[in-house]
Amino acid sequence: MQIASLSPPEASDEIFRKVSYRLIPFILLLYFVCYIDRVNIGFAKLQFLGDLHLTDAHYGLAAGLFYVTYSLFDIPSNLMLARVGVRRTLFRIMILWGVVSGAQMFIRNASDLYVLRLLFGAAEAGFIPGIMLYLTFWFPARFRARIIGLFFLGVPLSGIIGAPLSGMIMQNMNDLFGLRGWQWLFLVFAIPAIVLGVIAYFYLDDDPKSARWLSDREKQLLADELKSDGSVGDGRNKGSFVEAMRDPRVYVMALLNFAANTASNTATFWIPSVLKDVGLGSIDRIGWVTGGISIAAAAGMLLIARSSDAFMERRWHFVGCALITAGAYLLLPLASASVLGTVLLMAVAAIGGVSLLAIYWTIPTSYLQGRGAAGAIGFVSMVGAVGSAVSPSLIGWLREATGSLYVGLGSTAIIVLAGAGLVLQMISKDDLARIGSTGE
């Protein structure tokens, strides 16, 4: 159907469908590869801890160190994206992260592990806040939970596809050509990142104005809706980065991202270890069960994101996801003798954790506007990355100190519950009015 023959609302919807089909599958593929490279250490550890004589504390610290440098470079990367565009930014990020990810196959001791995880974090810094900013150039708030939810499908997809594949690589390629399974794991998954970095440079457009696959009328209709919506991408000058950082709600949003990332990354990094502890069996089997948990997480997140957009409500959806995530972690000790019970609770935790991220990112991407948005979005992402750094390190340390994973998982539940309390206490209906939240 021709856009010109449709009424403005119908034409607008048709344009956003066209934009979605063009951008979202590719961006999802990028995040899928990104997330596999980031978290495949969770599978690799099942083998390299013994090979290199390391402990869970070493692993937890290494997993956390990634987010230290990741957080430090988030703001500069996003400010640079605003200047040079997404194509050049993603080209730089993906080539560097692919190279460093592959280099992890050469780890020989704890020091090597720490240095490479720090370099990996610096290489990947700015990817998520950059994509979040980029999506505001193309989509108004009424689509945002669904669009961000589709992007964050990369997290469960990395489990659905990546977890079984990781298990098979480590099981079947172990000692092939003298390399251990975990070394093959890092090498195999590094290659797609480098290839996609090159493709992204030629496939993506920096903004709608440069999109040759949109007609002039389509560009104008898209720009009109984004302008009326107040999205970042409308180009209006609404204050500098310094001015944006004077808003106390920016710091509240940052703390909420800390909680959301803590929840999501706890499930991602520790599901294989939890399943191994309850006696699930071989690495291959752990991979398939982790994939099943990720299918549940993907389905649950899409339903929750669609519900949030349908009701144009963010606050209680965030709180609800936080409650089910924290509840699942707190109940895990009761299922310590049951493989089925543990799998079900970890599935609930995974659903809640990834849904928290999808709902969370609807808030800052709609609230923050103008020149300061790129830096402010980078800031909230930076604080979220700190949460990602704290959770694996804390859990690894508590496991070494107490001999149990459940104490560390309980600490995650406390952080997530604090986030739920913070959003109820500090984010009101009026604060969310601009993104259409009903609030109550």
The model's pTM is 0.71
348, 372 in Cβ contact below 8 A?
A: no
| pLDDT confidence of residue 357 | 84
The domains found in the chain, sorted by start residue, are 13-435 (1.20.1250.20)
Dist CA 1 CA 13 (whole Å): 12
Q: Please report, for residues 149, 258, 353, 358, 402, the alpha-carbon distance to residue 398 in angstroms, rounded to integers and kept in the order given.
A: 32, 19, 21, 29, 6
| pLDDT confidence of residue 372 | 66
| pLDDT confidence of residue 234 | 42
Dist CA 182 CA 188 (whole Å): 10
CB neighbours of residue 8 within 10 Å: 10
Stretch (H or E) spanning 214: none
Q: Is 172 helix (H, G, I), strand (E, B) or coil?
A: helix
Query: Which residues are within 8 A (CB) of 170 and not within 5 positions of it... i.e. 6 or more apart?
Result: 43, 44, 46, 47, 181, 182, 184, 185, 283
- Mean of the per-residue pLDDT values for the chain? 82
409, 266 in Cβ contact below 8 A?
A: yes
| pLDDT confidence of residue 9 | 52
Per-residue pLDDT of the chain (440 residues; tens, 9 = 90+): 444 444 445 557 788 889 899 999 999 999 888 878 877 887 788 888 888 988 888 887 887 788 788 888 878 888 888 788 889 999 999 999 899 999 999 999 999 999 999 999 899 888 888 888 888 888 887 777 788 888 878 777 777 787 788 888 888 898 899 899 899 999 999 999 999 999 999 999 998 888 899 888 888 888 888 777 655 444 333 456 677 777 888 888 888 889 988 888 787 778 888 888 888 877 778 878 888 888 898 899 889 988 888 887 888 899 999 999 999 999 999 998 898 999 999 999 999 988 988 888 887 877 776 666 777 877 888 888 777 777 777 887 888 888 888 888 898 899 999 999 988 887 665 555 444 443 33
| pLDDT confidence of residue 218 | 87
